[in-house]
Each structure stands twice: as structure tokens, then as C-alpha cells.
Amino acid sequence: MDIRRSIQGSVFALALLLAGCTGSDSDGPSPSSEQTAEPNPTPTEFEQSFADATTGEASAITATGERLGPRISSENVGISFETTDLADPRLDPGSSNLEEQLKSLGSPALRFGGNALDRRTFWTSKGEKPKQSEKTTITPDDIKRLKKLVDSTGSTVTLGIPLGIYDPARGADMAAHAVDILGDSLVGLAIGNEPNGYSVKDVPNGAVRGKGWNKEKYVKQLEAYAKAIHAKRPDAPIIGPDVYDGAWMDAFADSDVKNKTALSQHWYQLPECDSGQVPGRGPQAENLIDPLAKKSAKKNIGIGKEKADAADLPLWLEETGPTSCPGTNDTSLTNASALWAADYTLYAAQLGVERMAMHSMLGACNGGAPMSLICDPADHGQQSDTFVPRPNMLGLRLVVPSIGGTFTKTSVKGGGNTSAYTVSKDKGKTLVTTIINANDAADVGGNPVTLKMPSGFSVDKASQVYGPSNDAKSATKVIPANPLPDSIPYSGPTKTGSASASASPGADDNELNIDIAGSSVTVFIMRKQ
């Protein structure tokens, strides 16, 4: 399901942005990062803030250089918009700070689709007016504006072609203009959005097909659109079916559509809107960071991966997010959503997802879609040229240093609700370990952690996203990437005769002993000396 409208939220007061990496293999700072607050003076060392004394269970995390196979690319960190956002002049890099916000995610995958594609989008290259007043007109000029944005960010794009009103010729015209204008930046055309829900009436203008609509009729119309598109542009890349249902994935994969480029899946972590069960899959913040979330992700993404593998296609998670339920601002504003965004993105990439986009919109912080990565702090109904990040976007920024890496074997012993991922980069000379400490900072303060590294490695820099608790709202902050200080807080057990608890890792045991704040995501960049 997609983002619902008319949901109340609140304006964010967010702090620092991560000095992370671009979409390349480098580990330098992201260019042109927008900052809503800066430390004074600017820190030169990595220094955490603890909500309370460190009382959490100790953990031992072992990072190795043993590669597992899956990689994480810039396309694993992405953002999905409603198609109607194409008409927003703020997509132009010179009209807002959207470009800078996107660059803070490296070169993120961009996707335009959502419920608005089939219900509120009207394409024309001839200056026609839509017959329905609720339609937003999209023209070649809008795609040219998008081209400016992707040229600046280095992003790739997937674009939806409306199928709500059956018109293959109009769809082919839109596709041809997209291919010509976007060029190599365009990696996929999706014909329709969630066609398995075309007879559903619980979204605005929801039912675009009658009761007899089924996957067989979908395939017939899909093939007609693809044939019309390929008659104009034979190499146009087609993706689909942009659904969760496995049977519709089979229908797309088995269709006669040519140049199928990827199998696209939609899935939201917490879809059971009426459930209050914890742990469970209802829209409660606790459910985002409960271990059950990973089990659900593995099971449901596994459906798409199985279908994609059978069709010999990559799996793209084109629309995803914490929850699609209405009225979930309290969940979406929590620090837990930042922890989840980082953990989920890394986990999905490790499962084999090759492209992923978190569903968002260019709406107001107060009254706009709650799960959106970014929002406009202007009063609802008005617009500004300055977008601000939400906690889930801050969490995604902690994934950026891993881009370009191959996952390696990493183990976690103890530590309660702790996860860790490691990738190898720079021909094995750089390791990046991301630790998600989902133990509540309000309960434990932090956890003593022993990070074991391969021989010859030492920590070069560390960065962190954290909050005073998992459910703290609008309080997520970032410690930018910096070298470790000479004195490192550590309250856990030490080996007899080893270096002091606060020392940096010794040359002999390649260990870092450090207390890590609860309710945090921490990234350690390790270099081989």
C-alpha cells in the first residue's frame, strides 16, 4: 500500500547530518549536506552522548574479511515519490535544497509512482487538459526538470506509466519522452502501480477497474502497453508488477513483455493497521526494532526473491517503508524509525535486494505523509524551498559509508537487541561495520562492546545516529564521522594483562573496547595498515 493523505504530523527539529560517503567507493564526506544545527565548536573527535550510565549486556562483535557474496550499491539507498511530485518546480536543483538532501544519501535511487500514478496523473506532450479536475498534468518539461536533478545527484530513475485509464498510445508517448530525455539515467518503466488493488475502494478514487479485474486481464493490458512502447523505443526497460502478491509477480514474469529488466515488489514492515500487539506487525514503534521485524522481512522479501530468481531477474523493492497505516506519525517520528531504516536497508541488501526506495512525498511536515524521508516545514497548504530530514532519513545516511562494499561474515554474541553488518571495500583494504544497538537508551544507557577486527586493521573513523530512547520523537541526532579519541569509555570486562579499558585497540589483539549508546546506529570505518 501507499502513503495516505490527511495525516497529522509535527515539525522536526533535527540536528547534524552525517559526514558520510557518496555513492562511490570513497569514504569522504557527502557534498553539500544541509545542516539544521551545527556543533559549536565543530567536533574533531568521535564523542557520544549517553542518556544514563552504561548498564546493558556486554557484546562481542567479530568483523571478518570473509565475503558472503551480496553487495550493496547506491541503488539500495533510495527514495520513492508520488508521480504527481514530478510537477513540483522544487525538483529543479536551483529551486530548493532537495538536491542537497538527496546527495546526503549518496546517489540515491529515485522512483516515481504510488497511488497517484493511476488515479491523479495525466500525461500530455500536446498541451491537452485533463477531463478530471483532480488530475495533475505531467509534461515533457517536468521530465526535463527531473533530468537536471538526476544529472546533479548521479541518481538513476524508475518511472511509472499510468494504467488507471487504459490508453496504450498515451502511455507509449510518455515512455518515449522519458527514454529520450532521461537517457541512461532511466533504468525502468513500470506500467501501473499495484494493479492487484485496482478494484479496491479504500483509497481516494481507488477503484479504477471493475469487479472482474484479475491478473489475466492485467497481463493483456500490460502487454498492449509494452508493445506500444517498444514500437516507439525498442530498448525501453520494463519492470513490474509493483505488487506484493506472488501470483501477480508470476503473471508479470510469464508475460510476453520484451526487455523485462527487473521484478519489482512492494512491501511495508508494519501493515496490520488495526493490531496493537507488541511484538507484532501493527504500527507501533516497538515493532520496528523487535527481532520479529527481521523474520517478517526475510519471509516476505523472500517471496519476491524466489520469484525473481525463477525469472532470472534482479529483485527491486520499488516501494517500501515502516508502515502504510494512516495516523502513524507517532511511530514515524520516533528514533526507532532511524534504527529500523538502517538495519532494514542493510538486511534487505544482504538478502539480495538490488534496488530499494523508501516511499515519500514533497509534502508538509505538519499534515503531510508521516513516513516520508523528507518534508517541508512550512505550514500545511503552503510551500518553502527548504526540506528537512526525518529520523528514517538520518538512519539511511548511516548506510552510505557501506555503499560499494561486499558483505562479509560478521557475528554478534550477547548484547541483547544488537545487530551488526560488515562490508569489504577498496580491494579488501577497508572494512565498514555498522552496529545497530536497539537496546533502549532510557533503560540501559548503553552497552559495552568488543569489536574484533582482522589482523592489521584499526578504526579510522566512527559516526553515529542516536536518540535519548527508542520512542523519543523528533529527537534523533547525528555524531558526524571523526577519529576516535585517545580515551574511549568502556565499562565491560577486560582481559587480564590487556590494555586499559579506555585504550584504543592494541596491535596484538585487534580489538576495540567501547561503550556504545543505546538507541543508536554506529558506523566504524576500519583501514588496513
Region of 154 on the Ramachandran plot (φ > 0 left; ψ -120 to 50 alpha; else beta)? left
d(CA 515, CA 493): 11
Confidence of residue 200 (pLDDT cuts 50, 70, 90): confident
- What SS3 state is found at 57? coil
The conformation of residue 526, written as its DSSP 8-state character, comes to E
Percentage of the chain beyond pLDDT 70 is 89
298-310, pLDDT tens digit by residue?
A: 999 999 999 999 9
Q: What is the Cα 347 distance to its own chain's centre?
A: 11
| Set of cell numbers at residue 61 | 562483535
The conformation of residue 29, written as its DSSP 8-state character, comes to P
Average pLDDT over residues 180-199: 97
Picking from 243, 377, 255, the residue whose alpha carbon sits closest to that of residue 303 is: 243
Average pLDDT over residues 253-275: 96
- What SS3 state is found at 15? coil
| Set of cell numbers at residue 114 | 504510488
Contact 157, 146 (CB under 8 A): yes
What's the confidence (pLDDT) of residue 366? 87
What's the confidence (pLDDT) of residue 132? 85
pLDDT for residue 174 is more than 50: yes
Give the least confident one: 184-193, 340-349, 457-466, 498-507. 498-507
3-state secondary structure 113-140: ECHHHHHCEEECCCCCCCCCCCCEEECH
What's the confidence (pLDDT) of residue 40? 60
Average pLDDT over residues 234-253: 98
Q: Note the pTM of the prediction, 2 decimals.
A: 0.91
Which residues lie across from 451 on neighbouring strands? 61, 512
Residue entry with cell 514530478: 86
| Set of cell numbers at residue 324 | 502504510
d(CA 117, CA 137): 11
Confidence of residue 507 (pLDDT cuts 50, 70, 90): very low
Confidence of residue 134 (pLDDT cuts 50, 70, 90): confident
Residue entry with cell 484479475: 214
| Set of cell numbers at residue 80 | 520513492
Average pLDDT over residues 209-227: 97
The conformation of residue 429, written as its DSSP 8-state character, comes to T
Q: What is the Cα 179 distance to its own chain's centre?
A: 25
d(CA 293, CA 345): 12
d(CA 520, CA 385): 30
d(CA 147, CA 265): 25
pLDDT for residue 355 is more than 90: yes
d(CA 29, CA 374): 20
What's the confidence (pLDDT) of residue 498? 42
97-102 long-range contacts, Cβ below 8 Å, gap at least 24?
97/34, 97/385, 97/386, 97/387, 98/149, 98/362, 98/374, 98/387, 99/32, 99/149, 99/152, 99/153, 100/32, 100/33, 100/34, 101/34, 101/374, 101/387, 101/389, 101/393, 102/149, 102/153, 102/155
Confidence of residue 340 (pLDDT cuts 50, 70, 90): very high
Which residues lie across from 408 on neighbouring strands? 67, 422
What's the confidence (pLDDT) of residue 18? 34
Domains belonging to the chain, first-starting first, are 59-69+407-494+507-528 (2.60.40.1180), 74-402 (3.20.20.80)
The conformation of residue 376, written as its DSSP 8-state character, comes to B
Contact 23, 403 (CB under 8 A): yes
User: According to DSSP H, which parts of 81-214 are helical?
Assistant: 98-103, 115-119, 140-153, 168-182
Residue entry with cell 545487530: 419
